Amino acid sequence: MDEKDYYKVLGVDRGASDEEIKKAYRRLAHESHPDKHAGDKDKEEQFKKINEAYEVLKDQDKRAQYDRFGYVGPGAGPGPGGYRDAGFGADFQDIFGEVFSDFFGGGGRRRPGPERGADLRYDLEISFEEAAFGTEKTINIPRTAECSTCHGSGARPGTYPTQCQTCRGAGQVRFQQGFFSISRPCSACNGAGTVIKDPCNECRGAGKVRKQGSLTVKVPAGVDTGSRLRLSGEGEYGERNGPPGDLYIVMTVLPHPIFRRENDDCICEVPISFAQAALGAEIEVPTLEGQVKLKIPAGTQSSKVLRLKNKGIASVHTGRRGDQQVIIKVETPTKLNKRQKDLLEEFAEISGEDTTPLRKNFFSKVKEIFE
């Protein structure tokens, strides 16, 4: 068999550092892994060669012997089958710890490090006016915090966590499955590498306690139902000195008896009488800031929209206020006395088509269709 150049297989120089060899191996192993190239015999063979080269070059003794004597073929060198069998006859701990770390969430030899706390959600109900102009609310949040008695260690004051005897502080235990050697988190210490023999009385060894916290939340003007406010660092306590999570305030705006919202405009329907619509009038209409006078032009039809500039809701992005849309609703009287009926009948008799242009136009179209 031809002599093999393991440095060439990994694409590194002979003077490459351990870290450079490791990076080259991980990159090539990812590219040629059989799971990504099912049924590709060339890739499978390439994967074997990469592992074979790495198994030799990562070990100082094997690398020194290889640098001195080169590849000597099956049956020679350390281990069964010499260097050639290193591709699949080697300890698979490093392969699982390095090649598969991206798939299984980390290498097999790492202890759990700092862990960010969980995010929290709080649903806050506010009134229509509070959403329009902004407000401040004080809320109570139950969340975990560092135990002030043991300062997060979980151990009774004056004592300390001790090394786990099952994993000897590694946080991982190894077991054999066929010819694979695989690591998994230690069940005795849950991967921490330490155990607490004398737990804190306050937190019972957890290192954290549940507390009710009070927060003042500034709600900006213009929020709407579904708007979220993020309060950084106000979530759950982070494990093993990790940063806390965030708190998300989710808004629900309660309905208003008079107003409704469309984008940044405030909508209000105002009823007027038949006489006011026909003759015109000046009426008072409600706004978010109180009553204002509004002029109704003579001949105003039902559903006519009149605008009050800058009487709407402030934009949460720009701060500019929308308008208030006043939708006119002409109310038809339902209870008429005799005098009122007589006057309306007289009005109908003397009214020509010029007083009802919409009605005239409609029936002209009907006549064109059916004649």
Q: Residue 206: its pLDDT value, please?
A: 84
Phi (first) and psi of residue 53, to 5 degrees = -65, -45
Q: What is the pLDDT of residues 289-322, one digit of tens each?
A: 999 999 999 999 999 999 999 999 999 989 899 9
pLDDT bracket for residue 112 (50, 70, 90):
low
Indicate if the pLDDT at residue 104 is higher than 50. Answer: no
Highest mean pLDDT among 168-182, 262-276, 352-366: 262-276
* Nearest Cα to Cα of residue 280 among 296, 303, 302, 304: 296
Q: Tokens at residue 338, please?
A: 């005799």
Q: What is the pLDDT of residues 171-182, one digit of tens each?
A: 888 776 655 667
- Give me the domains of the chain, ranges plus CATH numbers: 6-104 (1.10.287.110), 109-157+201-255 (2.60.260.20), 162-195 (no CATH), 259-365 (2.60.260.20)
Q: What is the pLDDT of residues 54-69, one digit of tens each?
A: 888 888 878 877 877 6
Rounded distance, CA 49 to CA 57, Å?
Answer: 12
Indicate if the pLDDT at residue 87 is higher than 60. Answer: no
Q: What is the pLDDT of residues 41-53, one digit of tens each?
A: 888 888 888 888 8
Please provide the average confidence, as pLDDT, over all residues in the chain.
82
* Chain centre distance of CA 2: 55
Rounded distance, CA 125 to CA 203, Å?
Answer: 33
Q: What is the pLDDT of residues 203-229, one digit of tens each?
A: 888 888 888 888 999 999 999 999 999
The neighbouring-strand residues paired with 59 are none
Rounded distance, CA 16 to CA 115, Å?
Answer: 34
Of the CA atoms within 13 Å of residue 172, those in its CB half-sphere come to 15
pLDDT bracket for residue 36 (50, 70, 90):
confident
pLDDT bracket for residue 125 (50, 70, 90):
very high
Rounded distance, CA 181 to CA 121, Å?
Answer: 43
